[in-house]
Amino acid sequence: RMLSGYKPKNNVQDSYKILDLEEGCSLDDVRNSYHNLAKKYHPDSSSGVADSKAFIRVEEAYRVVLSDLAAKQKSDPGEEEEDQFKSKSLQHRHYLSFEGVGIGTPSQREKQYMQFRVDRATEQVLEYRQQRLESRYAGSDLSRAKDVRESKKVKITQAVERLVEDLIQESMAKGDFDNLRGKGKPLQKFSDSPHIDPMTHNLNRILIDNGYQPEWILLQKEIRETIERLRKSIVASRRKLGEPMSLSEQKQWGRVCEQFAEDIRKLNKRVDNFNLVVPILSRQMVHFSTDKEILRARKTYEAVLEKVSDSDVKENEGKEGK
């Protein structure tokens, strides 16, 4: 079916030139020339000039020359030569199938052709993915600029590190590190216990000497300072209002209590964060209650009033005694 609908692209003269033949040559010359060119240009040959396109052109030229010779043989009375030509003209027809891929029997060439199709499909998929990635990142100037900035930062960091290392080596060569305190002496340990890693203690000592504190220590200190400040502020606000409070002073005290409740709510969030990072379970903290803190502030205020009243009574008694 494929051969019946095939239309050669080359004319007769070009076909003879491709096969390096002249018109009027014999059928054996055509076959020998085709065999030599097929071995030379076949894709599976070991030749260095193997080319599938050139092999296809040779095939087309061979078919054109064969058809020309067949037309000439029909005009001649020799039928035996015509029958011989018909029987041997299609001996390489199997090379027209499977796109000229493979060598050996048709079944072997079919297996080789299937593997060739799998490899070609894999290459096409890779090329398609590469094109998609290139089209996706082709116009992303921002990402390119970010990459350039990051590379510059890395280069600058490496340059600074090299400069610092050069300065350290230069100072060591000059002897600037010869008069350091404790030179030649072993590092002091935190504990004399043999079960404690000395490296860990040395690192802890260095961190403590430089003012380092764990995060949970800082949070605990911040929470304690914040609650003390809030307690003092609410007691001070209550003392400013006096006793007994008027209607306007009661409204003002209500606003102070609302603000105090909001501050306690924010402080309880810090307590939650502290409980997440504290390494010791017994060091965890509970939430502060707004009602209890306000009650505590009232008791503190009443205690202050009692002290003030006691001091006034003692002063009056002293004056009376005098």
The DSSP code for 77 is S
**Residue 89: is its pLDDT beyond 60?**
no
> What is the spatial distance between Cα 309 and Cα 315, in angstroms, rounded to a whole number?
10
Amino acid at the residue 114: M
pLDDT, position 275? 92
Q: Are 21 and 65 in contact (CB under 8 A)?
A: yes
Q: Is 282 helix (H, G, I), strand (E, B) or coil?
A: helix
The pLDDT score that the predictor gives to residue 221 is: 92
pLDDT for position 1: 38
Per-residue model confidence (pLDDT) at position 173: 82
Domain ranges of the chain: 12-73, 101-138, 140-178, 215-313
Residue 87 reports pLDDT greater than 50: no
Superfamily of chain region 12-73: DnaJ domain (1.10.287.110)
Q: What is the pLDDT of residue 61?
A: 86
Quote the mean pLDDT of the chain. 78
- The CA distances from residue 117 to 94, 95, 97, 120, 129, in Å, are 18, 16, 13, 5, 18
pLDDT-derived band of residue 140, with 50, 70 and 90 as boundaries? Answer: low
What percent of the chain is helix, strand and coil (3-state, nearest 5)?
Answer: 75, 0, 25
pLDDT tens for 236-284 read: 888 888 777 888 888 998 999 999 999 999 999 999 999 999 988 888 9
pTM: 0.37
> What's the pLDDT tens digit per position in 170-191?
888 888 777 777 777 765 655 5
Query: What is residue 88's predicted lDDT score, i.e. its pLDDT?
Result: 47
Q: Quick one: pLDDT band at residue 162, thresholds 50, 70, 90?
A: confident
Average the pLDDT over 75-94 and give the result. 50
Residue 95: the pLDDT is 54
Beta-carbon count within 10 A of 69 CB: 20
Question: Given this model, what pLDDT does residue 280 score?
Answer: 86
Q: What is the pLDDT of residue 4?
A: 45
Average pLDDT of the segment spanning 119-129:
82
Q: 103 CB contacts (<8 Å, ≥6 apart)?
A: 42, 44, 109, 112
* pLDDT tens digit sequence for 46-60: 677 777 788 888 888
CA atoms within 13 A on the CB side of 166: 6
Can you say how many angstroms the Cα of residue 71 is from the centroid of all Cα atoms in its chain?
A: 70
Structure confidence at residue 268 (pLDDT): 94
At residue 75 the predicted structure's pLDDT band, cuts being 50, 70 and 90, is low
The Cα 102–Cα 94 span in angstroms is 10
Per-residue pLDDT of 279-304, as tens digits, reads 888 889 999 999 999 899 888 888 88
Give the pLDDT band of residue 193 (cuts 50, 70, 90): low
Predicted pLDDT of residue 266:
94
pLDDT value, residue 316: 64
Percent of the chain topping pLDDT 90: 15
Place 3 in a pLDDT band, splitting at 50, 70 and 90: very low
Phi-psi region of 23 (alpha: psi -120 to 50; beta: other; left: phi over 0): beta
CA 164 to chain centre: 31
